[in-house]
Amino acid sequence: MDSLSFNEFFQGQSLNFLLRAIRVALEEDGLELTSRAVFPAGHRSKIALIAKQDAILAGLSLVPIVMAEAQRFELAAKNPAISRISPDPSARSVPLVRPEPGERSAQSGPIASNQEPDWPAWPDWSWQPVATEGAAVKNGDRLAIIEGSTRLLLKAERIMLNFITHMSGVATLTARYVQALEGSGVRLLDTRKTLPGLRAAEKYAVQVGGGCNHRFSLEDMLMLKDNHIDAAGSISKAVGLLRAAYAPCPPIEVECRNQAEVLEAVAAGADRIMLDNMEPEAIGEAMSVIPRSIETEVSGGVNLENIAALVRGPWVNGSGQSASGSERGVSCSGQALRRPPDFISVGRITHSAPQVDFSIRFLK
């Protein structure tokens, strides 16, 4: 899918998942007893979010959401009638209205009698972004300024950092893989290997880093993996059962482990064929028999060291003739690839992305 802005991406179910994750994080932390004892209720401070390493920035737009939810949490501690965590975010009938940078109030409009506001009516804070989402920030860059209740800032700071540093880590690693694919025509996909509850946040960060999203859930595409195929008895049988079960039938992707399975998937009319854990030579052989009408995806054991060999392989040059041995780099049983694969999927851009080093500094 094409890259979307934060507000475009986080709508409906994706927004609900994000809000649940933030609210659970606030509940895990509990009350900020230290700040309550040290600072009076009216004490105010100004803080800056600072980059301590070069990175791709993702998740900065979470700042007003975390601040508003933290204030909701604090208000709930004073007023039991306000729920700390909405039990069913998907049941909201009032659209979320996010505070604009520098804005000090944000009401979501008329509230049903059985609902609390989506945002506290008078936020005790304001914020000003300095960097932009998706920017390549440098060590020492100031990313945002936030001003408000000291108690509230100290309640929210770690949760903001946890989300933003993780999402920026995903975006930064994704960008490295995208750079490794530059010029190949192959698109980078993520996977479902995401942290429970954080899939929407991580897939958004993949887009910020220049990658593309594979399916969000099991409902988005029919995918026959090795266990499905082994249990069903064959690729042909499993594809036939899927087409008989759904009308219209969603796209079907088939995971293939060898050339025989590739040929069977082609004959069965798969919409996309995944070449799973294949060596470059085997990928070349598979690509030579897959028609252009079927999408192709390389997957399994992909890292920055082997990604070029897995997707570049022995191409056909612009004249339609196979490239020379020196150009090909990887032998493919004397056969040149008719085309590069359409996609390469990499689980480690989400499950193994290191957090980047950002910090919060008190300015006054």
**Catalytic positions, please?**
158, 193, 225, 255, 276
Taking the C-alpha atoms of residue 143 and residue 131, their distance in angstroms, rounded to an integer, is 5
Taking the C-alpha atoms of residue 163 and residue 63, their distance in angstroms, rounded to an integer, is 10
Taking the C-alpha atoms of residue 347 and residue 120, their distance in angstroms, rounded to an integer, is 38
Taking the C-alpha atoms of residue 235 and residue 227, their distance in angstroms, rounded to an integer, is 11
Contacts of residue 264, Cβ cutoff 8 Å, sequence gap at least 6: 234, 235, 236, 256
Give the 3-state secondary structure of residue 212: strand
Q: DSSP per residue over 254-270, as a string?
A: EEESSHHHHHHHHHHT-
Strands (E), the chain: 44-51, 55-56, 125-129, 136-137, 142-149, 187-189, 222-224, 252-256, 272-276, 295-299, 343-345, 358-362
The angle formed by the CA atoms of residues 33, 66 and 54, to the nearest 5 degrees, is: 105
Contacts of residue 35, Cβ cutoff 8 Å, sequence gap at least 6: 150, 151, 154, 155
Q: DSSP per residue over 157-193, as a string?
A: HHHHHHHHHHHHHHHHHHHHHHHHTTTS-PEEE--S-
Taking the C-alpha atoms of residue 221 and residue 228, their distance in angstroms, rounded to an integer, is 14
Cβ-contact 308, 180 below 8 angstroms: yes
Contacts of residue 113, Cβ cutoff 8 Å, sequence gap at least 6: none
